[in-house]
Amino acid sequence: MAIFGTEFMPEMALTSYDKDGWTKPQHVSANSISMHPGAHVLHYSSTCFEGLKAFSHADGSINIFRMDQNLNRFEQSSRLLSLPDIDKQQVSDMIIEIVHKYKADVPKPPGSMYIRPTHIGTEPSIGKAAAASLTSLLYVLLSPVGDYFAGGAKPLRILLDEKGVRCAPHMGMIKSGGNYASALGPILAAKESVQADQILFCPNGDVQETGAANFILIDGNEIITKALDSSFLHGVTRDSILTIARDMGMTVSERDLSVSELLERAKKPNIEAALSGTAAVLTPVGTFIHNNEEHKVGTGEAGPTTLKLRQTLNDIQWGRQKDTHNWLVKV
């Protein structure tokens, strides 16, 4: 299979918005879209997106995971970027119909069909740096993907950055391309300078998130992660993992976590750390890098609780374990 996220289905679902409202969705070629070079998105980054997955079950059915939560966040991101309000029912129908069209192409476990709804401002105006785009385009791309960890989940090396921030604090809960772009330079510099895989942004010592994922710390029967606020992304995978942890009888502590506490706890032999996100579910963290010193996290390897939580979520997504929270929508 191609590199994760580089293969696409030949068609996508598309609708546009103008003064008359949203157009009837169409299935069009996924090779290109037509936009004026002065489109608002190209100059003022009026863009947001979502990432969710459809899974093939043993009974032949195709099931989309937690689409309602992704649509809620998509609606929120669009609103906070002053893009036209989306029609959640319309977008839900677009997703279901395009996935149904390509249901035969949904990979078997551990693969899945990655779904990427995207909303961009299209008004041709380079004079609206402080004004919203009155027109927009919304499309849904499909990308068949394999196991993110085809070669095995290698524990990550994470740089703890107490000076930088992933993005402007009021933008943190928006899933916008600009947030990823703002974190890219520091991440690439960290890869070059200390061979870090990612940066964990901890402004003024407050442990927040990495450039592309939420962060959790597992200390025995307790999960510690930052409480939700507007400064970082409200991950659907994060919420799913915390729900499963509570189902298992674990204690979930959503609270502030300082770098000093993080490094102190990292010394414990049974400590685990992980990043959560749609693509990889849970990625183990093996090393923290702080002030040019390396700190092994527990054993430095993927811990048993991390692996158990990831496997449980995968089993629900793949239909191998009962979906007690009604997270799956059958296509």
pLDDT value at residue 3: 85
SS3 96: helix
pLDDT digits (tens, 9 = 90+) for 122-176: 999 999 999 999 999 999 999 999 877 666 678 999 999 999 999 999 999 999 9
In Å, the largest CA–CA distance within the chain is 61
Pair 122, 40: CB distance under 8 Å: yes
Q: Which amino acid is at 228?
A: L
Q: Is CATH 3.30.1490.20 the classification given to domain 11-145?
A: no
Give how far Cα 21 sits from Cα of 9, 280, 281, 313, Å. 27, 37, 36, 38
Using a cut of 0.85, tell me whether the model's pTM lies above it: yes
Task: Delimit the CATH 3.20.10.10 region(s) of the chain.
Answer: 156-317
Topology of the domain covering 156-317: D-amino Acid Aminotransferase; Chain A, domain 2 (3.20.10)
Q: Which amino acid is at 49?
A: F
Task: Delimit the CATH 3.30.470.10 region(s) of the chain.
Answer: 11-145
pLDDT digits (tens, 9 = 90+) for 314-330: 999 999 999 999 999 99
